[in-house]
Structure 1
Amino acid sequence: MNILYSLLCLVLGYLLGSIPFALIIGKLFYHTDIRKHGSGNLGGTNAGRVLGKKAGIAVIVCDVLKVVAALGVASLISPVVATWTGLACCIGHCYPVFAHFHGGKAVSTVFGFLLGMSLFVFKDASFFLVPFAMFFITLYLFKFVSLASICGILCGTLYITAVLWYFNADNILIILACWLMSALVVYRHTKNIVAIRNGEERKISWM
């Protein structure tokens, strides 16, 4: 029965992640399909650039909360199931079934993942605050959201790995999910990495 519930949580996580809030908010309130503007990604960064600051913030909050919700529900089963459900939610955000598998780059959902892990798996705010601080330090120094996102999740994953150094089956599964989360974020930002190397990546101007 636990296996069935675990699989249902993974499916729920993916479906929640697949809800394209950037597309919904863009079409509902701005009559704009942001897939046809800016970078074309269904994420908070592109929503902010195309639709404005308020829309960008709304998308980011919704994208964060959908992962936190998924983790919260799955934590009723176990910390391991919660972690993998959070990963499934982020995969759904990147490859949403409700938007022809064309989604965002998991920037907001990564921090939803880390926030959910802090609240429901570790019950320790440092698992969110440490990578969040790394994100803003990197963003302040280099002005690239993409680079800051990569550094943030890698920092969070390294922190989790260091804390769970006493390996057992559950810890290994949690660590594996976190490293897969990191790999997903790096993969989704491959073009950004190339653009940074070529001096073509757009920098933020508000910091």
Structure 2
Amino acid sequence: MFVYLLVVVISYFMGTISCAYLISNYIFSSDIRQHGSKNPGTTNMMRTFGKKAGVLTLIGDYLKGTLAVLISIFLAKKMGADPDLAKYISALAAVCGHNWSVFMKFKGGKGVATSYGTMLAISPLMTIASMIFYIIILLVTRYVSIASMLGVCLFPILMLITKDMSGLWLGILFSVSVIYKHRGNIHKLLNGTENRFGAKAR
């Protein structure tokens, strides 16, 4: 039990590392939460500070999820715990840390990149398949929000196909979380005011 508690703590606090906040504050001397959609994520960073800032945010948020899971698997193996259980617990904790950071008054990003990062360490091939689907949806619709929601919602389907029941439940939780975090975007989509990819934030 101590091992899994350790996994939760490490993964959660790794998830709380807000790459958007750090980059915007220490490189641009401006808090991303005061610009555009006010979301500390890749899309808002790209629209506000440019492509390089957006890419750096994406890589950072992605890698922290992957590293959190890999570290948890390593710890579980070293301490005689179940590495499979540890990786799923870690993935959920890391995304929770990103979405509801204790350092941001339990607010945060939308968890898409971090969800993908954790899933890359859990199921690389299925993650690549979901990323390809994400890119196709983005190119067709030009809406990051739609691509994000549909891309993550593909995870439980892929996990079901591979008969990974633990991955299925994790994918469902990620899907619910991402849709909940995009409720503002859904409202804008319905009103026709959602920004398309490449547009400046309103």
Write the deviation string for residues 75-119 of structure 1: whole angstroms up to 9, x where unpaired. Answer: 23212220221111111111111222221111211221221212x
* Cα distance in 2 between the residues matched to 1:11 and 1:205: 37
Write the deviation string for residues 41-83 of structure 1: whole angstroms up to 9, x where unpaired. Answer: 1111111111111111111101001000111011232122202
Contact 2:4 2:89 in 1 (8 A): no
Count residues with an aligned counterpart.
Answer: 192
Given the two structures, how large is their TM-score scaled by the length of structure 2? 0.90
Describe how 1:73-84 pairs up with structure 2 within 5 A: 73-76=71-74, 77=76, 78-84=83-89
Contact 2:68 2:118 in 1 (8 A): no
* Cα distance in 2 between the residues matched to 1:205 and 1:174: 33
Write the deviation string for residues 120-176 of structure 1: whole angstroms up to 9, x where unpaired. Answer: xxxxx3211110111011101111111101111111221012211xxxxxx543322
Structure 2 unmatched runs, 5+: 77-82
Q: Which residue matches 1:184? A: 177
Given the two structures, how large is their TM-score scaled by the length of structure 1? 0.88
* Cα distance in 2 between the residues matched to 1:97 and 1:19: 10
3-state SS of paired residue (1:75)? helix
Q: Which residue matches 2:115? A: 110
Q: Does 1:89 align with 2:102?
A: no
* Cα distance in 2 between the residues matched to 1:41 and 1:205: 16
| Of 28, 31, 34, the match for 2:32 | 34
Change (3 A) 1:145 1:114: same
* Cα distance in 2 between the residues matched to 1:98 and 1:108: 19
Contact 1:20 1:99 in 2 (8 A): no
Describe how 1:55-70 pairs up with structure 2 within 5 A: 55-70=53-68
Change (3 A) 1:205 1:24: closer
Structure 1 unmatched runs, 5+: 119-124, 165-170
CA deviation after TM superposition for structure 1 residue 27, in Å: 0.7
Q: Does 1:9 align with 2:7?
A: yes
- Give aligned-pair identity as a percent: 31
* Cα distance in 1 between the residues matched to 2:132 and 2:19: 26
* Cα distance in 1 between the residues matched to 2:179 and 2:30: 28
* Cα distance in 2 between the residues matched to 1:85 and 1:178: 13
